[in-house]
Amino acid sequence: MRLLNNLKNKNMNNNNKKSFTVAFAVISAAVLILGYFLYKSSPQNQNQSVTNTDDHHDGSAITVNSDALNALVGKPMPDIQLSDKDGKIYTVVDFKGKNTVLFFNEGLMCYPACWNQIASFGSDERFNSNQIQAISVVVDPAKDWQRAITQMPQLAKATTMFDVNATASRELGLLTLASSMHRGSLPGHTYIVLDQNAIVRYVLDDPNMAIANNMLFSKIGELK
């Protein structure tokens, strides 16, 4: 009888230990989960999450900043330098006399969106007249851009200039915009509209990378 009672007591002790272990595990898990949510919901870490949403394809954490781009409006275009396929240098003086759309983009790596926009400018008579011109600015060397033309011959119709090393893009503040796929290094999909006196009249950064011919033509029609 005593042996039976001992066995019962031993089983009860084992059950109590198991119950305690299970209860401890449940409580520990609950504490960890609660701690996690408290951590994530703290203001500091909410701010970190916002910063991370600014990360783009290159994994950088450079914050979007369009102040420099917006500040161009209403002012003479800064005296940037761009080159054509033959290495001839163009400055802002060369843009005077026509309403000009400058389309800054990544170039070779921005396929198909940027390529489609460049080709669309080339085939659109509205942007190749004695009143309006569209100049697509890519960051590739001219000899490398020839590869794109080989793959999409329609690109050859477009007026294309080259901003090697993204020097002009950086000066204009185009490397930290929402459209940039390599933020801090390369432009994305940005338009700058100049009037006939090379005054900046309209800017647009387009993360959706849509073809903007009709909208841009309408904006130019509003210039006085």
pLDDT band for 224, please (50, 70, 90 cuts): confident
Indicate the pTM of the whole model. Answer: 0.74
Q: How far is CA 154 from CA 40, 71, 101, 122, 138, in A?
A: 50, 34, 19, 7, 16
Q: 126-159 pLDDT, tens per residue?
A: 999 999 999 999 999 999 999 999 999 999 999 9
Ordered by start, the domain boundaries in the chain are: 2-41, 67-221
Section 33-37 average pLDDT: 42
pLDDT of 177 higher than 90: yes
Q: What is the DSSP string of 102-147?
A: EEEE--TTSTTHHHHHHHHHHH-GGGBSSSEEEEEEESS-HHHHHH
Query: Which architecture does CATH list for 67-221?
Result: 3-Layer(aba) Sandwich (3.40)
The mean of the pLDDT values for the chain is 82
Selection from 140, 137, 98 nearest residue 118 by Cα: 137
